[in-house]
Chain A
Amino acid sequence: MTQAPRAIRSALSSARMLVNRLSSFAVVAASLAAACSSALPQASAQSDVGPTPAAIAKADSGRPPYTKADVKFLQGMISHHAQAIVMTAMAPTHGARADVRILAERIDVAQRDEIAFMQRWLRERREVVPDPAAKHDMGGQPMSDMDMPGMRMPGMLTPQQMTELSAARGAEFDRLFLTSMIQHHKGALAMVDELFASPGAGQDGAIFRFASDVTADQTTEIDRMMSMLKPR
């Protein structure tokens, strides 16, 4: 099985979902237009913008339209982050040098918080919420495999890479940890790219902000890890 049919299937389903969302938006817009112009008599040159942001937010109960790509991005990213936490947990016990341990601790805190955000977002929308704790084996099958059999999220370490990292100590661990985490972070950036390449995705401000924060933080961290790899 190649990627193409799956990609087409997914694109079609995204498009369908989007059409549904857009038509519901139109209905909302039409039904609200009358009510708000009188409800909000505020001085403004904007008389023709239609429903206010508040009216739209109220109509969709604070849940802006989203696509299947948004959901898959978050579900995949939970599995992706979960592996990073397994990796960072090794630093204190594998003889990592001080700055690597600090970095690992920060990645650990950051990615745990982000997992909490992603789970919250999915839960509030009654989407499937992957449980990162369900995958404690060393780089085994990530949760997203339920959706995409045989495929790991970009940048994730293979079971063999995880075994090598787990076996390494001291300077060798530092080198492997940094190179592996760079690979891992680059995968996250690729996932963000993929999200924004998908029609209608990232229109929910919470997703846009989260994805942009992932890009900003992880690009910065990759840069830092690259400099940490340099001979000192």
Chain B
Amino acid sequence: MRFASSALLLVVALSGGTGCSSALLRSPSDSTDLSEFPPNPDPRVGLRAGWWDAGEAIWNLRVVSKTRPSEKFTNPSTPGDSRLTNSDLAFLGNYVFQGNYSGYQVWDISNPAKPTLRTAYVCPGSQSDVSVYRNLLFVSAEATNARTDCGMQGVTDTVSKERARGIRIFDITDVGRPRPLATVQTCRGSHTHTLVTDPRDPANIYVYVSGSAAVRSAGELEGCSALLPEQDPNSALFRIEVIKVPLASPERAAIVSSPRIFNDLAAPAKHGESAADSALAAERARASGRPPRQTFPGRGPTQCHDITAYPAIGLAGGACAGYGFLLDIRDVAHPKRIGAVADSNFSFWHSATFNNDGSKILFSDEWGGGTQPRCRVTDKMQWGADAIFTLSDNTMQFKSYYKMPAAQTSNENCVAHNGTLIPIPGRDVMVQSWYQGGISVFDWTDAANPKEIAYFDRGPMDSTKHVDGGYWSSYWYNGYIVGSEMSRGLDLFELKPSAFITRNEIEAAKLVKFEYFNAQEQPKLVWQPSFVVARAYLDQLRRDDGLPRARTFAVARELEAIEAMGNKRAALIRLSTALDAEALQNADIRRIRLLAATLRNMAKVER
């Protein structure tokens, strides 16, 4: 099959190359797959099973390294042990912080081909969702076995002051020796959290805490109440927690507000339980010695799963059980709901990602919680998928679903999970984890027609039974896709030039460098005005016929000539002005203007 598609590409390359300049031909390398068609049949179907030796299928990506988890978090005799699950990722400089249900690992990826372990810190209490900021590491603790002293023995008492559910804060000034600073306890623990910086408040950072587990008793943490808000104004239901962290004294971090972002979502519906059921519940409650759970739904979710803040545009996307929320976070400590969507095909709204200009938002549905096989041939493509909305005047409008398209076995947990944008200028491209469905890279520039353009997948952990594994997170960080594999460790990938992404676009993406990166706080992507960015736009105009092909080749030749000049200013302004003038007569006005603006900005620095 590979042969067939390469033969096809050769034809495409040759015909496309007629009359084209050297600038065009210099980029594709020998191994580049320029086919516009994905391999068929899909090589992800039917891969050999195995923990360390599973079959692999890869398209338009290159594996840079595969690193097994720390020995502390690997039990060679039992694959898929839920205590040793790798979870989310955060990045600081050359370090990758990888959560694990038993603690976290810190990797040095200065050499991406050979990540080295700096520390494996033992501190059980899933999910160990991680965020970093300067010298501080934040770790979510939710499970009832999480201890304040990070001990391995769990907490067997149903009420205990030794239990740690909330946000753990570590000083990572020496990443090899993290130092526990504080644990901010919350009523429902922290399933995930979102670190939010406030441009107007540099002395503090904020942490939005999402916790969907049960409310603990007031005996364990004072003030915790599972009653309805109208019965107890301090109810821990129907709210999120906001922690304020003073950077000068992070050990004094504390909850500063508990915004009720769920209020008035829907009127409480009246529904009486059957008399027998109420009696049964009461009896069981007496036997267990605690009040029955107050579940009066029909008024929206009681918690969010994940909140993605985008401070540059003052918005956050909240994935909150049955709803997708739009939050105004201009007052960081007091987020307000300004929009909400629901979808009958969505089971559990899990996470949100904005596109860079804030004109779209993508929500994912983690149907089944990530431990169920929801990518079988029998599973619907709109279930356990992403839903893409356009966003205008704070109104979200549904456009399409996207789901990793390769059918997986019933032994592979698979559903939409964590991902980030890949900073290709002019396009909305995202890399996303699908657990044992692997990593899928897709383009959602056209919100109604998302399209897969690269992937990596392994066979199941086990061919005979369901064993948990797969990618929890896969995020773009400073030129690489870094994947956290629940059972197999840390994998790094690079994009390979293809019919869908050119070398110029990849180089332009690599221009975007962060000092730190937390996926739940989306940074605004900004590209240094440069020839590679201009050529990336030009490649897009050619690929999508946004400008006549002949004209794209002429502009490419002109760019070559300008690059060779001493003072480029006048030539850049001339080309920029010409492009602006012809934008309206062509198909892709937006990208022509982006190209023109890039050239104009390049001219500004030419003196």
Contacts and interface: CB of A to CB of B under 8 A. Distances in A.
Interface stretch (A36-44, A80-88, A137-145, A165-173): A36-44
Interface string A84-116: 000000000000000100110010011001101
Contacts of B293: 189-190, 193
Interface stretch (B80-88, B89-97, B325-333): B80-88
Contact of A45 (B85, B177, B369): B177
Given A53-B72, A226-B269, A117 B151 contact: no
Given A219-B297, A220-B348, A213 B368 contact: yes
Contact of B345 (A46, A102, A203, A216): A102
A203 B156 contact: yes
Nearest to B267: A230
Interface string B249-287: 000000000000000001001010110110011011011
B2 interface: no
Contacts of A128: none
A182 interface: yes
A45 to B, nearest CB: 4
Nearest to A6: B287
A46 B170 CA distance: 13
B212 A54 contact: no
B75 A49 contact: no
A42 B103 CA distance: 15
A61 to B, nearest CB: 6
Interface string A48-72: 0111111011100110110000000
Given A18-B156, A204-B82, A205-B82, A186 B72 contact: no
Counting chain A CB atoms within 10 Å of each CB, the highest count among B298, B321, B342 belongs to B298
A116 B376 CA distance: 15
A23 interface: no
Interface string A176-195: 00010011001101101110
B535 to A, nearest CB: 44
Contacts of A99: 344
A190 B283 CA distance: 11
Given A99-B344, A190-B281, A192-B214, A42 B144 contact: no
Interface stretch (B48-56, B113-121, B492-500, B544-552): B113-121
Contact of B284 (A40, A61, A154, A209): A154
B367 interface: yes
Given A54-B84, A62-B81, A196-B144, A216 B288 contact: no
B300 A223 contact: yes
Nearest to B117: A42
Contacts of B276: 158
A230 B269 contact: yes
Contact of B122 (A46, A155, A208): A46
A50 B82 CA distance: 20
Contacts of B271: 179, 182, 226, 229
Contact of B273 (A186, A197, A202): A186
A135 to B, nearest CB: 19
B288 A45 contact: no
Contacts of B103: 53
B369 A154 contact: no
Contacts of B348: 216-217, 220
A43 B118 contact: yes
Interface size class of B (residues with CB under 8 A): 35 or more
Contacts of B302: 219
B75 A62 contact: yes
A59 B311 CA distance: 47
Contacts of A159: none
Contacts of B122: 46, 49, 52-53
A203 B144 contact: yes
A contacts with B: majority SS? helix
Given A102-B345, A212-B212, A217-B347, A44 B177 contact: yes
B145 A205 contact: yes
A85 B122 CA distance: 41
B607 interface: no
B353 interface: no
A1 interface: no
A221 B346 CA distance: 10
Nearest to B321: A220
Given A54-B74, A205-B143, A186 B277 contact: yes
Nearest to A22: B156
A56 B286 CA distance: 37
B176 A44 contact: yes
Contacts of A54: 71-75, 84
B134 interface: no
Nearest to A123: B465
Contacts of A229: 269, 271, 298
A64 B152 contact: no
A154 B283 CA distance: 11
A232 B143 CA distance: 40
Contacts of A213: 368-369, 371
Contact of B144 (A53, A202, A216): A202
Contacts of B84: 53-54, 57
A154 B178 contact: no
A50 B152 contact: yes
B265 to A, nearest CB: 9
Nearest to A41: B71
B481 interface: no
Nearest to B70: A42
A223 B280 contact: no
B121 A46 contact: yes
Contact of B121 (A39, A44, A114): A44
Contacts of B373: 113
B473 interface: no
B490 to A, nearest CB: 16
A42 to B, nearest CB: 6
Nearest to B273: A183
B246 interface: no
A226 to B, nearest CB: 3
B277 A62 contact: no
A199 B156 contact: yes
B192 to A, nearest CB: 12
A43 B121 CA distance: 10
Given A155-B277, A186-B273, A208-B143, A203 B154 contact: yes
B288 A193 contact: yes
Nearest to B305: A216
A222 B277 contact: no
B124 interface: yes
Given A53-B103, A57-B84, A216-B348, 18 more contacts: A18-B156, A42-B72, A44-B177, A53-B83, A61-B78, A106-B383, A154-B280, A186-B277, A193-B214, A198-B288, A199-B157, A202-B144, A203-B154, A205-B85, A212-B213, A212-B369, A215-B212, A221-B322
7 contacts: A42-B71, A50-B151, A62-B77, A110-B367, A216-B212, A223-B298, A223-B322
Interface of B: 70-78, 81-85, 100-103, 117-122, 124, 126, 142-145, 150-158, 176-179, 191, 212-214, 266, 269, 271, 273-274, 276-277, 280-281, 283-284, 286-290, 292-293, 295, 297-302, 305, 321-322, 342, 344-345, 347-348, 367-369, 371-374, 379, 383, 465-466
Give the 9 A-B residue pairs with the shortest CB-CB distance, closest first. Answer: A226-B298, A62-B78, A213-B369, A53-B102, A57-B75, A45-B177, A223-B297, A205-B82, A197-B288
